Homo-oligomer: A and B are copies of this chain.
């Protein structure tokens, strides 16, 4: 029997996912705005045959929060550049449905899909940064449930616009002068609750038919959207049991939404510290922990909790009754519960989550790391992982150089790309146009 194959993405976050990574001696402190840095990482990721690169995004700069990850390239311009130094790897960019228009999003991702010949993916978010509202003419962030309601219609419009042209719509026949084939171009004429978009799109059908859709909601509304619309689902899960229950829940929801279990790939985030021995791997972690100043730690906690902690004793507990954020509520909850469960001081809390922003951290030799990854994949907890390297480039190149060969040796990871498009490499179906379907 062939073994279940692991899907792997890498979450490119400036200098790395450890919040003090930019202070690491090997880090390029300006990585988040350094194009050469990103090119090198992208090339390395493709040498490692990873499925995709992932860029998160926000539409604000929050002065209270940790600045290192906030000053950054706009994802679609950067991914366009990265498309030129790679050939097979997927290019996933984040765009918010709350502060964008569906026409622009359909267009940008179609354009990236054409430029990269079928490697574009859209991470659909509803914006978890409350501060974004004030950059878009609004007094306050739209309510969580309203954001998700709008998101669903938004995604439907985008999918509709991508279907504007059938696969063979463009004749471009020099002899006859026929440019577009009659009947192969469709006007969407969408009039819904939140959006009214006529179409057609001014970009022909994307090479993938439909760029890959990624989602990371974890609330009830979030997982419903993900189960209905997404091909890939990101999530933060700390334990095997939690990951299994999330995995089952999402697959069940997908089936309830009329899809197959295999139509969605669930990829929890994981931060890997690898070295010859587990001890040496842990030493790398300790080295980064030493670099966390109280300022960095507090910026980070305040961002997640949505409150100002400056009045509180670092060596005392979190304040009681923190009001629910209108941003990423499930992560806020996770962190408050962690502090309570383990009885942590503020300092202990930020030190604890600093390494991976609430995602799973694993340590070990290449073989120990492989064991831990395979355990989740073999036990219905994951279809793959979204790698969150503690720091770049070292914390990432270690993974490519040490862990990838180990996974390949064990027969759970590709040695060559299966195809040219991201859909092919993820093992997802090509999506036919709704109009082509009608004709069958």
Residues of B within 8 A of A339 (CB): none
In the complex, the answer to whether A170 meets B71 with C-beta atoms within 8 Å is yes
Contact with B along A87-117 (1 / 0, CB 8 A): 0000000000001110110011011101100
Q: A283 within 8 Å of B by Cβ? A: no
Q: In whole angstroms, how far apart are the Cα atoms of A85 and B138 in the complex?
A: 40
Q: In whole angstroms, how far apart are the Cα atoms of A239 and B433 in the complex?
A: 49
Q: In whole angstroms, how far apart are the Cα atoms of A83 and B79 in the complex?
A: 12
Q: In whole angstroms, how far apart are the Cα atoms of A387 and B384 in the complex?
A: 51
In the complex, the answer to whether B203 meets A71 with C-beta atoms within 8 Å is yes
Instruction: Evaluate whether A76 and B73 lie within 8 angstroms (CB atoms) in the complex, with A84-B84, A101-B136 already known.
Output: no
Q: A277 within 8 Å of B by Cβ? A: no
Q: A180 within 8 Å of B by Cβ? A: yes
Which residues of A194-233 are within 8 A (CB) of B? 195-204
Instruction: Evaluate whether A30 and B170 lie within 8 angstroms (CB atoms) in the complex, with A103-B136, A197-B137 already known.
Output: yes
Q: Which of A62-70, A140-148, A325-333 contacts B (4 or more CB under 8 A)?
A: A62-70
In the complex, the answer to whether B177 meets A23 with C-beta atoms within 8 Å is yes
Interface size on A, residues (CB 8 A): 70
Instruction: Evaluate whether A203 and B33 lie within 8 angstroms (CB atoms) in the complex, with A63-B187, A177-B295 already known.
Output: yes
Q: List 24 A-B contacts (CB under 8 A).
A: A22-B172, A23-B174, A59-B104, A59-B107, A60-B202, A61-B201, A61-B202, A68-B179, A72-B202, A72-B203, A73-B111, A73-B203, A74-B107, A74-B203, A77-B108, A78-B115, A81-B84, A100-B104, A101-B136, A104-B104, A134-B196, A134-B197, A137-B197, A138-B196
Q: In whole angstroms, how far apart are the Cα atoms of A81 and B420 in the complex?
A: 19
In the complex, the answer to whether B71 meets A202 with C-beta atoms within 8 Å is yes
In the complex, the answer to whether B58 meets A202 with C-beta atoms within 8 Å is yes
Which residues of A37-78 are within 8 A (CB) of B? 58-61, 63, 67-68, 70-74, 76-78
In the complex, the answer to whether A115 meets B81 with C-beta atoms within 8 Å is yes
10 other A-B residue contacts (CB within 8 Å) besides A73-B203, A100-B104, A101-B137? A22-B172, A22-B174, A60-B202, A67-B179, A71-B204, A84-B84, A131-B198, A134-B197, A135-B199, A177-B291
Residues of B within 8 A of A196 (CB): 134, 137-138
Contact with B along A400-429 (1 / 0, CB 8 A): 000000000000000000000000000000
* Chain B residue, CB-CB nearest to A32: B204
Q: A35 within 8 Å of B by Cβ? A: yes
Q: In whole angstroms, how far apart are the Cα atoms of A341 and B355 in the complex?
A: 74
In the complex, the answer to whether B198 meets A135 with C-beta atoms within 8 Å is yes
Q: A164 within 8 Å of B by Cβ? A: yes
Residues of B within 8 A of A289 (CB): none
In the complex, the answer to whether A29 meets B174 with C-beta atoms within 8 Å is yes
Q: In whole angstroms, how far apart are the Cα atoms of A137 and B193 in the complex?
A: 11
Q: A293 within 8 Å of B by Cβ? A: yes
In the complex, the answer to whether B202 meets A137 with C-beta atoms within 8 Å is no
